Amino acid sequence: MWKRWLLVRSLNIACVFLSVFMGVVLNTDISSQGADWNTFQLHPRSSLRGIYPIDSNNLWVCGSEGVVIRYSRRDEQVTLGHISGLEHAEIRSIHAWDDKNAIIATSGQPACIFKTSDGGVSWKEVYRSSNSNSFFNGLKFLGSDKGVVFGDPIDGRMELLITRDAGATWRRIPSADAPLLLQGEAGFAASNSSLLLTDDFVWIGLGGTEGGNAAVLSIPTNQLFESSSASDWKRTEVRSISRSPSRGIFSLARSGNKLVAVGGDYKQPFEREGTLSLSDSLGATWRQSKGTGVRAFRSAILYHPGISRWICTGPTGTDISQDGETWIPLSELGFHTLGLAKDGSVWGAGADGLAGQIDAQTLLRAMPK
């Protein structure tokens, strides 16, 4: 969804790189709104939608205007790369294995996937859809090798791609084996987090069509990668989040058997109603929050297992919770997307090329036990 159609005149794969040295953004407005976020201006214009932090010092992000950025906080170095032919593309999904190896997927046309093994100096195209209706909403990996891409429906059925070789090759699930969606129903590509891929299950949050409730699709992970059919997918309505062309589920996160979904209406960013739903049964049923809920539309959520906290964000601010039910403001600074690094640091990225980083101990101080 949020399609931005692009005319591509060149398919030559090349990369123009610019390295600059930048430090923490010295903006008093951002500092006052951002509480304990360390903020970094990584690009002057790009709306950053995809994020993959390696650790507290190394980050990959991507977004509008064909932007893919590798940032080293230790060296204060921003490496900005553009893939030839994608200068105006929306690049909203990214996964990285380390500071050298990463993979991105576009949202819109051309619908393609590129991979780098040299830190973004060069990019290799590993998949390109020949269908002019292809629009990829999310890309996730399980371990080093298995990955999933999901997109808007084509002829009523969700577009799904899988890889078993770390993204070197991709296989499109036959349309007849993909789940059937309602007229106008689709996912959102706001934060690369409406797809949740885990060892045992895959969940995909939906919205889009006018009227009714949002929904979550789910399937056992082994079935998706081994041999699945359309009937293997389970559809569950999420009654506490309604749907419209601009409303639905934007992000999913998990802790144990609990799932939390956030979203709402991106055209009504301050509206609080219908922005949070919870499941205590791995998505079998969904319910309203028993607590305060989140403050407004939220486009991304994650669970931090190291400190047992939930964090969610959107353009109007960032919130934190112990149980996913009752939330308190973390900061007035908001982002489009969130990522959790292996060392426990949390990163956000959003409008006008802004990124932020906050450590686990700071999060605990914001909401102690």
Contact 363, 56 (CB under 8 A): no
What does the block give as tokens for 179? 């789940």
Q: What is the distance between the alpha carbons of residues 56 and 114, in angstroms, rounded to a whole number?
A: 25
Contact 264, 296 (CB under 8 A): yes
Q: What is the distance between the alpha carbons of residues 56 and 73, in angstroms, rounded to a whole number?
A: 8
Q: Write the pLDDT tens digit of every residue in 326-359.
A: 999 999 999 999 999 999 999 999 999 999 999 9
Confidence grade of residue 29 (pLDDT, cut at 50, 70, 90): very low
Estimate to the nearest angstrom the gap between the alpha carbon of 267 and the chain centroid. 18
Least confident of 5-14, 239-248, 268-277, 298-307: 5-14
pTM of the shown model: 0.91
Percentage, residues of the chain above pLDDT 70: 91
What does the block give as tokens for 303? 């669970």
Q: Write the pLDDT tens digit of every residue in 39-81.
A: 999 999 999 999 999 999 999 999 999 999 999 998 888 888 7
CATH fold group of domain 15-366: Methylamine Dehydrogenase; Chain H (2.130.10)
Q: What is the distance between the alpha carbons of residues 284 and 286, in angstroms, rounded to a whole number?
A: 7
